[in-house]
Copies of this chain bind each other. A is one copy, B any other.
């Protein structure tokens, strides 16, 4: 059953205890999380199954979201949730990303489709704030920050997904400072809908004098309605939605084909430097997509636990009750599945908050050195969180189905929706294979290995500091082994020709080590507080992770160590 209750206690643990957020008072953070929980549990979650069933409808160029979404979005916006981490200068509340991502997680758990109407707006604000002209900032940022208007990212075209060098959409100067944008974009999330009074598209296109390839791509802001002198939505722009995709999941999210026909747009950032501006947006979006994986893992976990408590089936070997059958929860294999899902959700949450806290530090740390350190760590963690947490989210959703047995396969219980919804996160904002290449091919060799060092150093320091504590040996020992595997694997990837074949396994090895670090630190915090059930559960989940999941690093190192020879040697014609 889709019965979501926001895990505020564990969120507070990740935020304050594990990652030491000190810019927000814990009481305030908890109040905010509890308020967000009400919205997620009471407003958004009840629309998840109905939204999936109903889907979006395109009629005469207008997209109608499922019943209840308009009211829910209004509640979301009026509650100030869109503006939570927005720039204060533009009406935002300026709260840390690490807090904001936990609110995002709740929204994703409750209703992944709904979350997609708001998440990209936050990223669009970031791109306009950092790269837009003062005029663009003045015209668009307040409305976007508040969520009165929403934002999109328009990258993909039919012939061009991962490889933006193939992009065909064109923009020509109109002579008045604006441009005319023409082309067809596909897979545009929230490209058209009925939730906001305007939609602001950030569109990649080529200028007439653009160099070939990715060095000739510029970013344009193209509003659905061109703001008038008073900043209100004015003339309809030359773009429209020509189709909605029929998808495996996130069926309440409008995935649009958009036609731009001499649409008026404004350059964001410098000509031909559009990718840089877009990646400002994309990196934030990649963290958000990782959080989607965490949100689905949590929701699927809760749904599976509820069923495992209620469903009576089979007897435990040591059952003593006089019931005809025991709850599924007594069966060790069911508990194994539940603990795996729990480890995925809590570990992913801890990792996501770690990355978000680095983004906060990169913006606010007092010294350039501290900001650089945070930026480095964020750069290396972004692809890891995106790919690892979405992989684990899908695995958790699949385990959620499995706990239900045949009942998981039918629509009624809602577990199959989590599976369908979870699958998209491994694909968009750069497939997980693209993330792996970003990590292993770009981030790993960057700055002479400095980014990798930023990641390894705090882990090595933790091991050094705690290695002699026998009470922590069951955590520090496996973490140390994983770190050695990561070091070995990183050394092997110094040969560039080995990167491609190893990248996905390397990302998983890297991600498991990162999770191991989260769990070892959690265990160290939990160990002295075993009089409290929360910390007992935390310690045992940490132990479960160390014993049952982390050993995979050895197999991953073996796979990486074998090299890419066989993959390369396989004859193309033989596939």
Report A's interface with B, CB cutoff 8 A: 156, 159-163, 165-166, 187, 245-249, 255, 305, 308-309, 312-314, 317, 324-325, 329, 331-339, 342, 394, 398, 401-402, 405-412, 416, 419-420, 423-424, 426-428, 431-433, 436-437, 496-497, 499-501, 503-505, 533, 536-537, 540-541, 543-544, 547-549, 551-555, 558-559, 562-564, 566-575
In the complex formed, the residue of B with least CB distance to A248 is: B416
What residues on B are CB-neighbors of A401 within 8 Å?
248, 423, 427
Report the Cα distance A161→B408, complex, angstroms. 12
Pairs of residues from A and B, 4 with the lowest C-beta to C-beta distance, nearest first = A332-B500, A547-B562, A551-B558, A537-B574
Q: Is the CB of A501 within 8 A of B424?
A: no
**Interchain nearest-CB distance for A277 vs B (Å):** 22
Q: Is the CB of A551 within 8 A of B555?
A: yes
Q: Is the CB of A419 within 8 A of B336?
A: no
In the complex formed, the residue of B with least CB distance to A158 is: B407
Q: Is the CB of A433 within 8 A of B566?
A: no
Q: Is the CB of A163 within 8 A of B575?
A: no
**Which of A305, A394, A569 has the largest number of chain B CB atoms within 10 A?**
A569
What residues on B are CB-neighbors of A337 within 8 Å?
433
Q: Is the CB of A426 within 8 A of B411?
A: no
Report the Cα distance A332→B565, complex, angstroms. 10
Report the Cα distance A255→B563, complex, angstroms. 46
What residues on B are CB-neighbors of A407 within 8 Å?
161
Q: Is the CB of B436 within 8 A of A564?
A: no
Q: Is the CB of B544 within 8 A of A570?
A: yes
Q: Is the CB of B336 within 8 A of A501?
A: yes
Q: Is the CB of B406 within 8 A of A339?
A: no
Q: Which listed residue, B248, B500, B563, touches A409 by the CB 8 Å rule?
A: B248
**Interchain nearest-CB distance for A529 vs B (Å):** 14
Q: Which listed residue, B248, B406, B411, touches A428 by the CB 8 Å rule?
A: B406
Q: Is the CB of A547 within 8 A of B574?
A: no
11 contacts between A and B (CB under 8 A): A159-B312, A161-B407, A246-B412, A247-B409, A248-B416, A308-B575, A336-B504, A339-B566, A401-B427, A408-B427, A552-B555
What residues on B are CB-neighbors of A313 within 8 Å?
160-163, 166
Q: Is the CB of B339 within 8 A of A567?
A: yes
In the complex formed, the residue of B with least CB distance to A316 is: B500
Q: Is the CB of A571 within 8 A of B437?
A: no
Report the Cα distance A419→B564, complex, angstroms. 28
Q: A405-B162, A409-B247, A562-B548 are in contact. Are A540 and B570 (CB under 8 A)?
A: yes
**Interchain nearest-CB distance for A32 vs B (Å):** 25
Q: Which listed residue, B419, B424, B543, B570, touches A537 by the CB 8 Å rule?
A: B570
Report the Cα distance A187→B405, complex, angstroms. 11
What residues on B are CB-neighbors of A548 within 8 Å?
505, 559, 562
Report the Cα distance A537→B569, complex, angstroms. 9
Q: Which listed residue, B166, B405, B562, touches A161 by the CB 8 Å rule?
A: B405
Q: Is the CB of A566 within 8 A of B540?
A: yes
